[in-house]
Chains A and B, each alone.
Chain A
Amino acid sequence: MAATTDHGEQHEERHAEETDEASASPSPQSSPSPQSPPAPRRRGTGRLATAVGVFGELLITAGVVLGLFVVYSLWWTNVLADREADEQGDKVRDTWAHEEGGKPAEFDPKKGIGFLHVPTMSKDEILVGKGTSTKYLNDGIAGYYTDPVKATLPTSGKDGNFSLAAHRDGHGAKFHNIHKIKKGDPIVFETKDDWYVYKVYAMLPETSKYNVDVLSAVPKQSGRKKAGKYITLTTCTPVFTSNYRYIVWGELERVEKVDRERTPPEELR
Chain B
Amino acid sequence: MYGWIWRHLPGNAWVRALISLLLILAVVYVLFQYVFPWAEPLLPFNDVTVDDQ
Contacts and interface: CB of A to CB of B under 8 A. Distances in A.
A, B assembled together: yes
A134 B50 contact: no
Contacts of B3: 17, 20-21, 53
A132 B1 contact: no
A166 B48 contact: yes
Contact of B31 (A68, A137, A167, A175): A68
Contact of B47 (A19, A134, A211): A134
Interface in B10-53: 28, 31-32, 36, 39-41, 44-52
A105 interface: no
A235 B48 contact: yes
A212 B50 contact: yes
Nearest to B6: A20
A233 B4 CA distance: 54
B29 to A, nearest CB: 11
Interface centre among A58, A73, A214 (most CB of B within 10 A): A73
- Size category of the binding interface on chain B: 20 to 34
B32 A76 contact: yes
Interface in A59-89: 65, 68-69, 72-73, 76
Contacts of A241: 44-45
A165 B49 contact: yes
A215 interface: yes
Interface centre among A19, A21, A242 (most CB of B within 10 A): A242
A167 B28 CA distance: 25
Mostly, the B contact residues are: helix
A242 B48 CA distance: 7
Contacts of A171: 46
A214 B48 contact: no
Contacts of B40: 73
A258 B52 CA distance: 38
A242 B28 contact: no
Contacts of B51: 148, 209-210, 212
Contacts of A132: 48-49
A209 B52 CA distance: 8
A143 to B, nearest CB: 8
B1 A134 contact: no
Interface centre among B1, B6, B41 (most CB of A within 10 A): B1
Contact of B52 (A21, A175, A210, A235): A210
Interface string A220-257: 00000000000000111000111001000000000000
14 contacts: A20-B6, A53-B3, A54-B1, A69-B36, A134-B47, A148-B51, A165-B48, A168-B48, A171-B46, A210-B50, A210-B51, A234-B50, A241-B44, A242-B46
Given A210-B51, A245-B49, 13 more contacts: A16-B7, A20-B6, A54-B1, A134-B41, A169-B46, A209-B47, A209-B50, A212-B51, A234-B48, A236-B46, A236-B47, A241-B45, A245-B48
